[in-house]
Structure 1
Amino acid sequence: MRILVFFLTAAFASLALAETPMTADEFDRYTRGKTLYFSSNGERYGGEEYFENRRVRWSYLDGQCKEGVWFVDGADICFVYKDNPTPQCWQFFLDGGGLSARFTGDEADSTLYEIEGADEEMLCLGPEVGV
Structure 2
Amino acid sequence: MRHLLASALLAASSLPALAAEPLSAQAFESYVDGKTLYFGMAGQSYGVEEYLPDRRVRWSFLDGKCKEGYWYEADAGQICFVYEDAPEDPQCWSFFNEGSKLRAVFENDPTATVLYEARQNDEPMMCYGPDVGV
TM-score using structure 2 length: 0.88
Structure 2 counterpart of 1:11, which letter?
A: A
Alignment of 1:14-29 (within 5 A): 14-29=15-30
Please give the secondary structure, in 1, of the residue aligned with 2:90. Answer: strand
Q: Deviations over 1:36-80 (max 9, x none)?
A: 011111111011000111000001111111100001111210001
1:77–1:92 Cα contact (<8 Å) kept: yes
In structure 1, what is the equivalent of residue 56 of structure 2?
55
Q: CA–CA distance in 1 between the matches of 2:128 and 2:91?
A: 24
Q: CA–CA distance in 2 between the matches of 1:36 and 1:73?
A: 21
Give, in angstroms, the shift of residue 2 of structure 1.
Answer: 3.1
Q: Are 1:76 and 2:75 an aligned pair?
A: no
Structure 2 counterpart of 1:35, which letter?
A: T
2:39–2:115 Cα contact (<8 Å) kept: yes
In structure 2, what is the equivalent of residue 7 of structure 1?
8
2:41–2:114 Cα contact (<8 Å) kept: yes
When residues 107 and 101 of structure 1 are mapped into structure 2, their CA distance, relative to the original with a 3 A threshold, is closer
TM-score using structure 1 length: 0.90
1:61–1:122 Cα contact (<8 Å) kept: no
Q: CA–CA distance in 2 between the matches of 1:97 and 1:32?
A: 15
Structure 2 counterpart of 1:127, which letter?
A: P
Structure 2: gaps of 5 or more residues: none
In structure 2, what is the equivalent of residue 103 of structure 1?
106
Q: CA–CA distance in 2 between the matches of 1:110 and 1:34?
A: 22
Tell me the number of residue pairs that the alignment of Structure 1 and Structure 2 aligns: 131
Please give the secondary structure, in 2, of the residue aligned with 1:6. Answer: helix
Give, in angstroms, the shift of residue 129 of structure 1.
Answer: 2.0
Structure 1: gaps of 5 or more residues: none
Give, in angstroms, the shift of residue 18 of structure 1.
Answer: 1.3
Please give the secondary structure, in 1, of the residue aligned with 2:121. Answer: coil
When residues 51 and 120 of structure 1 are mapped into structure 2, their CA distance, relative to the original with a 3 A threshold, is closer
